[in-house]
């Protein structure tokens, strides 16, 4: 009887044990096809999620935007703190046709949840090399194989103050957004969790919003971070994901600290006072044919007419892919949102956090009609006597000046990383900042 009881206790403990975190790796240039230039055209990433990754025989799951991917992983002997492996993979684009073959050699360094390194290999006979996105993650799937959430935490033990959610493109599995270096760097700098979503539609009122909340609750339990169930959300996304961010703010504004919608549009609808008060960024591509800028402009005007705190950028000469210069603005904007809205010392471990209201006295406005007329016009919102509803609303003076450089046509302001450095600087690493003159007159 004692032996039987002990066996039952062991079984119960095994059932109750939370799942171990996994190692996830995203190689953006791993699946290519021959192109006219002989170098190959990028068509989609290879995403690997490894269980038992610390052991000698890791389990491996692989996926991409389309087709079927099968992979096998051979882990190599590695020094402490490093993780080296060879991965072979096959991609079947169409049933009945032979798969394309690839192989990559991964050389990674792991520091807690942060993973950095490089890869080399070949796919379909073409050479591959670069730096993958990677991290130690938790995964919640509500409809395998492509519908779910992937969670990355900057530290596996420390409590987070909020959550960055990246919404997926239409019919795309974008969970690997949680592995993007610039998003991880921003999340780590602000003690935020980072989540990528897979194959959700933008209509939060049709169940997707609740799926996200259910997923956060599940991830809170499996990661040992109860604050995830109630923490404030910074919602971002491109195309379908941009529409998700707007719709989530309309559906559950009490959880939203700020939002970013890149080339994504939904009907503005009637906004609640909370939804109007939350700051947001809307961007469009000037020559985008999938979601023309007129759609985003209509959304912007409908929201501003109701007093919403949003700004608009139409990226010069850009088509549907997101403009390269916008991400630094997105993250700078969200940095200021975090500083203004997250209550110091507040914890979501036991319930919702009440976000701080924005300081209206710090707001600025931008005249959207002046993007092509030299430097775009920006003014303090306080004391402005014109039609503020026709102008972009900006969080503060610094956001306004950066907005002016991004929104003004013919690139008066260019942001790029010094010496080709990645987005994340690690502990004790020197930071190099380069500044160049930006036209005539005084610039700061």
Determine the length of the chain.
444
**31, containing H or E segment:** strand 22-33
* pLDDT given at position 97: 87
For residues 45 and 57, is the Cβ–Cβ distance under 8 A?
A: no
* pLDDT given at position 170: 92
Residues 155, 156, 160, 164, Cα dihedral to 10°: 80
Nearest to 54 by CA among 86, 26, 82: 82
Residues 6+ apart with CB under 8 A from 401: 378
Q: What is the DSSP letter of 172?
A: -
Residue carrying the six token digits 């509500």? 142
Per-residue CA distances from 41 to 31, 69, 94, 124, 400 (Å) = 9, 18, 18, 12, 38
**119, containing H or E segment:** strand 114-123
Q: DSSP letter string over 275-341? A: HHHS-EEEEEETT-SSS-HHHHHHHHHHHHHTT--EEEEEETT--SSPPTTHHHHHHHHHHHHHHHH
Q: At what angle do helices 326-341 and 397-407 cross, to 10 degrees?
A: 170
* pLDDT given at position 241: 96
* pLDDT given at position 41: 66
Residue carrying the six token digits 């491109």? 238
pTM of the predicted model as reported, rounded to 2 decimal places: 0.91
Considering only the C-alpha atoms of the chain, give the largest distance between any 2 of them, rounded to a whole number of Å.
88
* pLDDT given at position 232: 98
Both tokens assigned to 396: 């503060």
Residues 6+ apart with CB under 8 A from 211: 142, 200
Nearest to 168 by CA among 46, 65, 295: 65
* pLDDT given at position 239: 96
List of the chain residues with pLDDT < 70 = 1-18, 34-42, 414-415, 435-444
* pLDDT given at position 35: 60
Nearest to 347 by CA among 220, 161, 192: 161
């Amino acid at each position: 009887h004692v032996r039987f009881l002990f066996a039952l206790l062991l079984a119960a403990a095994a059932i109750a044990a939370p799942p171990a975190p996994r190692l996830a790796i995203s190689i953006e240039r791993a699946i290519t096809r021959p192109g006219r230039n002989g170098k190959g055209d990028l068509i989609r990433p290879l995403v690997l999620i490894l269980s038992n990754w610390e052991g000698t025989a890791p389990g491996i799951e692989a996926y991409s935007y389309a087709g079927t991917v099968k992979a096998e992983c051979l882990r190599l002997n590695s020094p402490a703190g490093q993780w080296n492996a060879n991965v072979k993979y096959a991609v079947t684009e169409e049933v009945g046709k032979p798969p394309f073959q690839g192989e990559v050699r991964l050389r990674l360094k792991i520091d807690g949840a942060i993973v950095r390194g490089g890869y080399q290999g070949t796919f379909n006979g073409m050479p591959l090399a670069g730096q993958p996105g990677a991290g130690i993650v938790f995964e919640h799937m509500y409809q395998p194989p492509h519908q779910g959430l992937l969670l990355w935490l900057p530290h596996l033990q420390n409590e987070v103050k909020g959550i960055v959610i990246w919404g997926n493109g239409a019919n795309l599995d974008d969970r690997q957004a949680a592995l993007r270096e610039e998003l991880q760097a921003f999340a780590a700098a602000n003690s935020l969790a980072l989540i990528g979503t897979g194959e959700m539609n933008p209509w939060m009122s049709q169940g997707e919003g609740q799926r996200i909340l259910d997923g956060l609750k599940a991830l809170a339990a499996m990661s040992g971070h109860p604050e995830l169930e109630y923490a404030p959300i910074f919602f971002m996304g491109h195309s379908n994901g941009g529409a998700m961010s707007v719709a989530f703010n309309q559906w559950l504004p009490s959880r939203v600290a700020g939002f970013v919608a890149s080339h994504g549009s939904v009907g503005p609808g009637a906004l609640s006072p909370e939804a109007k008060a939350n700051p947001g960024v809307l961007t469009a591509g000037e020559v985008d044919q999938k979601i023309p800028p007129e759609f985003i402009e209509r959304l912007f005007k409908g929201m501003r007419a109701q007093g919403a705190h949003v700004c608009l950028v139409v990226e010069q000469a850009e088509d549907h892919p997101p403009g390269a210069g916008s991400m630094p603005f997105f993250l700078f904007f969200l940095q200021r949102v975090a500083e203004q809205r997250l209550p110091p010392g507040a914890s979501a471990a036991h319930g919702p956090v009440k976000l701080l209201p924005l300081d209206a006295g710090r707001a600025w406005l931008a005249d959207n009609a002046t993007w092509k007329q030299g430097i775009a016009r920006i003014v303090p919102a306080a004391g402005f006597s014109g039609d503020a509803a026709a102008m972009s609303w900006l969080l503060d003076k610094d956001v306004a000046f950066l907005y002016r450089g991004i929104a003004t046509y013919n690139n008066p302001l260019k942001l790029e990383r010094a010496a080709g450095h990645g987005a994340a600087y690690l502990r004790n690493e020197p930071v190099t900042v380069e500044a160049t003159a930006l036209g005539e007159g005084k610039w700061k």
